[in-house]
Amino acid sequence: MDQNKIPQATAKRLPLYYRFLNNLNQQGKRRVSSKELSEAVKVDSATIRRDFSYFGALGKKGYGYNVEYLLGFFRSTLDQHEVTEVALIGAGNLGTAFLKYSFLKNNNIRITKAFDADSSKVGKDIDGVPIFHVSDLEEELENIRVVILTVPASEAEEIAEKLVNLGVNGILNFTPARITVPSHVRVHHIDLAVELQSLVYFLKHYPLEKE
Amino acid sequence: MDQNKIPQATAKRLPLYYRFLNNLNQQGKRRVSSKELSEAVKVDSATIRRDFSYFGALGKKGYGYNVEYLLGFFRSTLDQHEVTEVALIGAGNLGTAFLKYSFLKNNNIRITKAFDADSSKVGKDIDGVPIFHVSDLEEELENIRVVILTVPASEAEEIAEKLVNLGVNGILNFTPARITVPSHVRVHHIDLAVELQSLVYFLKHYPLEKE
DNA sequence: AAAAAGTCGTGATGTTTTTCACAAATTAAT
DNA sequence: ATTAATTTGTGAAAAACATCACGACTTTTT
Ligand SMILES: NC(=O)c1ccc[n+]([C@@H]2O[C@H](COP(=O)([O-])OP(=O)(O)OC[C@H]3O[C@@H](n4cnc5c(N)ncnc54)[C@H](O)[C@@H]3O)[C@@H](O)[C@H]2O)c1
Ligand SMILES: NC(=O)c1ccc[n+]([C@@H]2O[C@H](COP(=O)([O-])OP(=O)(O)OC[C@H]3O[C@@H](n4cnc5c(N)ncnc54)[C@H](O)[C@@H]3O)[C@@H](O)[C@H]2O)c1
């Protein structure tokens, strides 16, 4: 659908722009330049202008961008007018933290169901999100298309396969396992240990100049 | 230090390679090809060979790579022979999940101290990590150079400034705030809401072909 | 011993992403 | 009105990254 020509790097920044535009709007700001936005989101101003330009001419020369207009534009581009329902598998330490966090206000995303293999957790709820047994995935998942995966790494592959069979096509994978999925399924890996370790590596091997 | 010429994209993959090599080694595997590794970590085999080649000729034509040798090489490249101590600021939902997770075995990283503003948490410990009051940062932070930041977004900027003044030069920032730091400080943002939202965006706008 | 199969390292090429730099347009100041 | 200051949108260039494809070498098979 839409424009298949929006670069992936651009697409990844859209939610970021959206959030800052929301902030600006709430602060009552009417206009904003790519330079200001650049300072706020730490993305080069030329990159921001380029990003926006893929969607047409959203700004005005000499003026900048109208906050309200831009916000509205991105709201619909990001489908923020409707709630996206997602499920979470693995209500452990990390999973619980996500369940307690609301993605609704800023992202219009709601975790509506959680699943776990631990029967002592099943039947309870965390911040209003009911926890089902993972064996009930088939009956309970319904038409949810996006899943947050926070199970132990050893379970990841097996669960992922089940999810795919149930029609899931997006997985946000927090396990260290690199799961194998058919090409029509999109997996984003967030590998916290790798992030931490690579930060440490950069610090030791890429000394940054002082000022 | 070392080679300033290792591409950032390569550097980010090193911890991933390291983890899989560890797995292979524990499984008793003696050799591995870039093709096998590629299937495991989902990175093109040419990319893997290119990545490795920045460090010299680590493999042998017709044979592949010796697991133990490669593992040893990356262990020292990633400074895995010594424990890296990090601190965590904000022992809330997300912070607690991190405190309960051990980065020691696979990454040789240990969270040794946590800080929070909530005095009901101060003095306790989570899985052996003591929680101090954030006002004691100066006395307690000592020579810790890397910090995981899991405070509310509104606090991020102020805390970050304090951290920088205390000599921190690496921040893993989980808050949605894009913090401003001097150029000698490295910040890696992990923006969970953005990750989730961009996954949703990709699914709606980049339909993947079925097989 | 020779042939076949496997695999690395890398020059060359292709792709994606970022950045520069400036004409064109608008706004603000004098 | 005129001039100065802003700021966009984008062609062009640069930088970063990924992939192809093959010679060289090793291992395995026959
Ligand atoms: N917590 C962290 O800071 C952290 C850091 C890096 C990586 N991770 C990764 O994130 C994942 C989750 O970590 P965690 O700390 O929350 O672990 P955890 O053990 O606290 O939680 C895992 C949860 O999954 C449930 N579970 C186990 N098997 C299941 C199955 N087959 N189906 C459904 N649920 C099942 C368990 O009952 C548990 O509630 C792990 O893969 C871990 O490696 C976590
Ligand atoms: N939990 C999630 O799933 C999630 C998702 C996306 C983003 N985030 C971001 O991660 C951060 C942490 O989220 P959370 O859910 O753990 O929040 P939380 O409210 O549970 O935890 C924040 C902790 O920081 C402490 N704190 C407050 N002010 C402080 C200060 N000045 N110094 C030190 N500690 C202070 C609080 O006492 C609390 O313990 C937030 O910025 C949030 O936006 C969290």
Which residue ranges make up each domain of chain A? 3-77, 84-194
> In sequence order, what DSSP letters do the residues of A102-126 get, joined into one string?
--HHHH-EEEEEEEES-TTTTT-EE
Instruction: Indicate whether residue B115 lines ligand 2 (CB < 6 A).
Output: yes
**Positive or negative: CA dihedral A2, A8, A10, A11:** positive
Q: What's the gap in Å between B163 CA and the centre of ligand 2?
A: 17
The pLDDT of residue A211 is above 50? no
Query: How much is the average pLDDT of A81-91?
Result: 96
CA A167 distance to own-chain centroid = 19
DSSP A59: S
- What is the position in ligand 2's atom list of the atom closest to the CA of B118? 37
What distance in Å separates the CA atoms of residue A73 and residue A67, rounded to the nearest whole number? 10
What distance in Å separates the CA atoms of residue A161 and residue A179, rounded to the nearest whole number? 9
Query: How much is the average pLDDT of B63-85?
Result: 95
Nearest CA-CA partner of A96 in A123, A56, A125, A54: A125
Which of A43, A83, A194 should we substitute to test contact with B (largest number of B Cβ atoms within 10 Å)?
A: A194
Using the CA of A7, give the nucleotide whose C1' is nearest: C16
- Partners of residue B2 in chain A, C-beta under 8 Å: 205
Instruction: Indicate whether residue B96 lines ligand 2 (CB < 6 A).
Output: no
Q: What's the gap in Å between B88 CA and the centre of ligand 2?
A: 11
What does the mean pLDDT of chain B come to?
Answer: 94
Using the beta-carbon criterion (under 8 Å), do A209 and B107 form an inter-chain contact?
A: no
All residues at 6 or more sequence positions from A60 whose CB lies less than 8 Å from its CB, including other chains: A66
**For strand C, which residues in window 42-71 of chain B come within 7 Å by CB?**
45-46, 49-50, 52-53, 57-65
pLDDT value for B5: 81
Q: What is the CATH number of domain B3-77?
A: 1.10.10.10
> In sequence order, what DSSP letters do the residues of B6-54 get, joined into one string?
S-HHHHHHHHHHHHHHHHHHHTT--EE-HHHHHHHHT--HHHHHHHHHT
pLDDT value for B4: 61
What distance in Å separates the CA atoms of residue B63 and residue B82, rounded to the nearest whole number? 31
Name the residue with the closest Cα to ligand 2, atom 39. Answer: B92
Strand pairing class (B146-149; B186-189): unpaired
The C1' atom of C15 and the CA atom of B123 lie apart, in whole Å, by 54
Sheet hosting strand B125-126, strand order edge to edge:
B125-126, B129-133, B109-116, B84-89, B146-149, B170-173, B186-189
Nearest CA-CA partner of B56 in B41, B67, B40, B70: B70
Contact map slice: B 110-149 vs A, CB within 8 A: 145-146, 148
Query: How much is the average pLDDT of A184-208?
Result: 92
What does the mean pLDDT of chain A come to?
Answer: 94
Interval B167-184: pLDDT, tens: 999 999 999 999 999 999
Nearest CA-CA partner of A61 in A69, A51, A49, A73: A49
pLDDT value for B1: 46
* Site to substitute for ligand 2 among B113, B119, B150, B189, most atoms within 8 A of C-beta: B150
- Which of A183, A193, A202 faces B211 most closely, judged by CB atoms? A183
pLDDT value for B208: 67
Q: Hey, is B166 helix, strand or coil?
A: coil
* Exposed/middle/buried for residue B97 (C-beta within 10 Å: 0-12, 13-18, 19+): buried
Interval A36-84: pLDDT, tens: 999 999 999 999 999 999 999 999 999 999 999 999 999 999 999 999 9
For chain A, give the number of residues.
211
Q: Hey, is A65 helix, strand or coil?
A: strand
* Site to substitute for ligand 1 among A89, A93, A120, A158, most atoms within 8 A of C-beta: A93
Q: pLDDT category, B209, cuts 50, 70, 90?
A: low
Query: What is the amino acid identity at position A5?
Result: K
Q: Hey, is B104 helix, strand or coil?
A: helix
Q: Which CATH number fits domain A84-194: 3.30.230.10, 3.40.50.720, 1.20.58.110, 3.40.228.10?
A: 3.40.50.720
pLDDT value for B206: 84
Q: pLDDT category, B24, cuts 50, 70, 90?
A: very high
- What is the position in ligand 2's atom list of the atom closest to the CA of B154? 41
The pLDDT of residue A120 is above 90? yes
pLDDT value for B211: 45
CB A131 within 8 A of CB A122: yes
Using the beta-carbon criterion (under 8 Å), do A178 and B148 form an inter-chain contact?
A: no
> In sequence order, what DSSP letters do the residues of B41-61 get, joined into one string?
HT--HHHHHHHHHTT---SBT
pTM, to two decimals: 0.96
pLDDT value for A1: 45
What distance in Å separates the CA atoms of residue B50 and residue B53, rounded to the nearest whole number? 5
Using the beta-carbon criterion (under 8 Å), do A200 and B79 form an inter-chain contact?
A: yes
CB B132 within 8 A of CB B113: yes
Nearest CA-CA partner of B192 in A76, A98, A89, A113: A98
- Which of B78, B170, B200 faces A109 most closely, judged by CB atoms? B200
CA B3 distance to own-chain centroid = 20
Phi, psi values for residue B114, rounded to 5°: -120, 155
The pLDDT of residue B210 is above 80? no
What distance in Å separates the CA atoms of residue A156 and residue A172, rounded to the nearest whole number? 11
**Positive or negative: CA dihedral A71, A73, A76, A78:** negative
What distance in Å separates the CA atoms of residue B83 and residue B72, rounded to the nearest whole number? 16
What distance in Å separates the CA atoms of residue B42 and residue B24, rounded to the nearest whole number? 16
